[in-house]
Structure 1
Amino acid sequence: MGRKRIGILTSGGDCAGLNAAIRAVVYRAMGTYGWEVLGIRQATLGLLANPPQVMPLEIEKVDALLTAGGTMLGTTNKGDPFAYPMPDGSLCDRSEEIISNYHQLGLDALIGIGGDGSAAILRRLAQQGNINLVAIPKTIDNDVGVTEHSIGFDTAVNTATEALDRLHFTAASHSRVIILEVMGRDAGHIAISAGIAGGADIILIPEITYTIDQVCHKIKERQEQGKNYCLAIVSEAVRTEDGESVMNTNRLGQSRYGGIGQYLADEICHRSGAETRVTVLGHIQRGGTPSPLERVTAAAFGVAAVDLIAEEKYDRMVTWQNRQVVSVPISDAIAQYRAVDPDGTLVRTARGLGICLGD
């Protein structure tokens, strides 16, 4: 096997575990195969720069990254190269610039760490420009369809669970209803997992339709049992009772989920008279030291991705299935997202524990 030069980039939102995956790729590529690894800065933006923004990666440079949050390479979740926003407001297809710079760097393969959106863009570039691509799934939402675990999810759940643990005490002390709003762009995996682990009384996720009256009934039920406080966790993508998304739009015209917690608090207070408070966890879920499981997952994915390149198996994503790492075609990975199953184990568990899901 000849000496290879491979590139690696992180794309989309940051999360814990990305540096651990980069570290594993470098360890496997250099330590086992003797290959050269180039880190590409700021995802595809690094390949749009002239010259390309890259950094040589060596074992000594990544050795201490195992516990570091974020990504040493930087990342971006905007600037689609097929419709890149230009200063005059127009959109320009800059895909050929990325492809040209990939080949100019003399890369034999590219490892892309990202969610389904990033994987779709990278795959389109790969097919158009003869790029040997291997993907690693990353998303705190854990909604990539073909893998049980994605990098970032476990740490986000741990963070949300710790928040619930802390909120229990202040809720009980002041006899309040406290609502924790967590991330979850399309799926409620963080909310359902953290809600069970953190002992929430109410869990609201976008996959299950709720009513405010049912939520208030749960609060009243607890009051009748002598429990004058209640803890709720809600995914940011949950809609209002009328089916409207709750969004915030900034001065740049960018819209983001946010505010469903306050909406629920106002409605609960109005209908039940309960004193309510809201905590929005936000980007705290993305940061911090990766959990032990996160590090294991990232390490396994990084090693497996390099091995796919060694076997010259491209256009594939490494995934966690049935307690082991396997690979699947990237097209399968991006074909569908993985929502919470309303009839699945976690939902049945929550119901079995008497947790209100709002329906």
Structure 2
Amino acid sequence: MSIKNMGEPKRIGILTSGGDCSGLNAVIRAVVNCAVDTYGWEVLGIRQATLGLMARPPQFTKLEIDQVDSLLTAGGTMLGTTNKGDPFAFPMTDGSLCDRSEEIIAGYHELGLDALIGIGGDGSLAILRRLAQQGGINLVGIPKTIDNDIGVTEHAIGFDTAVNIATEALDRLHFTAASHSRVMILEVMGRDAGHIAIAAGIAGGANVILIPEIPYTVEHICHKIKERQEKGKNYCLIIVSEAVRTHDGENVTITNRLGQSRYGGIGEYLADKIIEHIGVETRVTVLGHIQRGGTASPLDRLVATAFGVAAVNLIAEDKYDRMVTWQNRQVLSVPITEAIAQYSAVDPNGTLVKTAHGMGIYLGD
């Protein structure tokens, strides 16, 4: 496509917001290549998400094609990100909360941006849209989350890589579990959705998959372990999503010295219960942020590239307040309000659940 007769050149911004994941740099690379090479535009990379627009002067990097050519396989995000500090209730050093949204909006206009591409999950996109509506920001959203819980897209950037990492972990745990006749529990991320656990569990040959969407009992887990022992299989692989609750319905969380709580510990809880009930030696592996790091999978690179190009094309068509989405093997776009309104949990009657049951995997009751 020629850059001739494309109208006035645009200056666009791009930022990554929320938790990091693999594939973010691939999006940045695609946006810069398409915007600069196809349309002859200028691209500014905003540092540390909205914090970069809040700073004075705004913190950014002008992005050129030669700067991003090597980013396809790089993990993390070259722009940095933040998942703390709601700009509408921003925590100050004195402990108070302050609405700093107008500072971010002013930063956007100070840079003379014609549009902003925001890469984030449902929480980040909700905040960015609120800023856009308040301050006249031309916003296009790109979905990224290893949790894959945004309802209007089959793929969010980062999910496939996280599944690959969890699957590889199960592959490796098979051998040590069999060698020592142990139960091995793998605790994975996913926030309140069990997509990583069920996808990796099936792909990695887990015998028990526990997800937040389906209740379970410790007794039935132990029955599955003993059933395998009776068939001469001396080990068992369990994968559990971090948001799975105890048998009493309580969340298992970890609180740090700053008073911040996060999911964590369900694997150790289950190990203690299994040892208590049937005395089988049990070990726990917590993948944690390993699922967010490293080289993106081919699928994540492909989706990230397609999303980046599609986002730039939406700006060229002056179509804003929309998020790109992968549906039925193609990239479409939907209103951001629709995207953030539809949360996608694992369907207890869906294909993957039926597949797990068909393979004899214990998935709950």
**Shorter-chain-normalised TM-score: which range?**
over 0.9
User: Is it true that 1:91 corresponds to 2:115 in the alignment?
Assistant: no
2:27 to 21, 25, 41: 21
Aligned to 1:107: 113
User: Where does residue 273 of structure 1 map in the other structure?
Assistant: 279
Establish whether residue 354 from structure 1 lines up as the match of residue 344 from structure 2: no
Question: What is the match of residue 227 of structure 2?
Answer: 221
Give the TM-score normalised by structure 2: 0.98
8 Å CA contact 1:187–1:340 kept in 2: the answer is yes
- RMSD between aligned residues: 0.4
State the alpha-carbon separation in 2 of the partners of residues 332 and 341 from structure 1.
19
Structure 1 distance, partners of 2:24, 2:190, is 19
The amino acid that maps onto 2:124 is: S
Among 107, 110, 124, the residue aligned to 2:130: 124
1:330 aligns with 2:336: yes
- 2:145 matched to 1:142? no
Instruction: State the partner residue of 2:211.
Output: 205
Aligned residue in 2 for 1:70 = 76
> CA offsets per residue over residues 74-106 of structure 1, 9 Å max, x none?
000001100000011000000000001100100
1:248-292, Cα deviation, whole Å (9 max, x unpaired): 011111101000000000001100111100000000000000011
Task: Please tell me whether residue 230 in structure 1 is matched to residue 230 in structure 2.
Answer: no
Partners of 1:74 and 1:21 in 2: CA distance = 14
Q: How many residues align?
A: 359
Contact 1:212 1:358 in 2 (8 A): no
Structure 1: 5+ residue stretches without partners:
none
Partner deviation per Cα, 1:130-160 (whole Å, 9 max, x = no partner): 0000000000000011000000000000000
Aligned-pair identity in percent equals 82
Q: Give unmatched runs, 5+ long, in structure 2.
A: 1-6
- The C-alpha deviation readout for 1:1-40, integer Å capped at 9, x for no partner, is 1100000000000000000000000000001000000000
Cα distance in 1 for residues equivalent to 2:174 and 2:84: 37
Are positions 1:175 and 2:203 aligned together?
A: no
Provide the residue aligned with 2:312 in structure 1.
306
Query: Is 1:318 aligned to residue 324 of structure 2?
Result: yes
Q: How far apart, in 2, do the equivalents of 1:210 and 1:312 lie? A: 49
Q: CA deviation at 1:336?
A: 2.3
Deviation of the 1:358 alpha carbon: 2.5
Q: Provide the secondary structure at the position in 1 that maps to 2:184.
A: strand
Which one of 248, 257, 260 corresponds to residue 251 of structure 1?
257
